[in-house]
Amino acid sequence: MYINKTEITVRYVETDKMGIVHHSKYYPWFEIGRSEFIKATGLSYSDIENQNIMMPLSETYCKYLKPAKYEDRIIIETYIKEFSPVKVIFEYKIINKENNQLLARGKTKQAFVYADTFKLMNLKKYNEGLWKKFKDLI
């Protein structure tokens, strides 16, 4: 199983008055991890969208375990938990790089839809090449 590891530094704008990362900022971090994961297929989100494929979110979840703080170096671990012709579930771990503590974990569920109609698609049938690229990372 491929696990993408993306490193970022917590920015001031992501924190509250206490210097703790606001809960809403974890979801953009998940998106950063997911985008970097997709790059491992040799494509970008734009490349996928240019093939008439969109991946809208249908569910999100985040469990906050310990606070991330201003200027912490964190690692976003991203991997595929579940994959089918119509959906993909990514899971994420937010880890403090300095002490290896798990700060949060989460997941996003995304459907594969046609960009022009937003109707559900069978990715395996519509684009077998992209299907295989994802499958190779599981």
Q: Where are the domains of the chain?
A: 4-135
pLDDT at 28: 97
47 is catalytic: no
Domain 4-135, CATH 3.10.129.10 — does that match?
Answer: yes
69 Cβ neighbours under 8 A, 6+ residues apart? 10, 15, 19, 20, 21
What is the pTM (predicted TM-score) of this model?
0.93
pLDDT means per 10 residues, the chain with 138 residues, are: 96 93 96 94 90 96 97 97 97 98 98 97 96 88
Q: To which residue do tokens 């900022």 refer?
A: 25
CA–CA distance from 101 to each of 7, 17, 67, 86 (Å)?
Answer: 14, 23, 10, 34
Q: Which of 16, 72, 116, 136 is catalytic?
A: 16
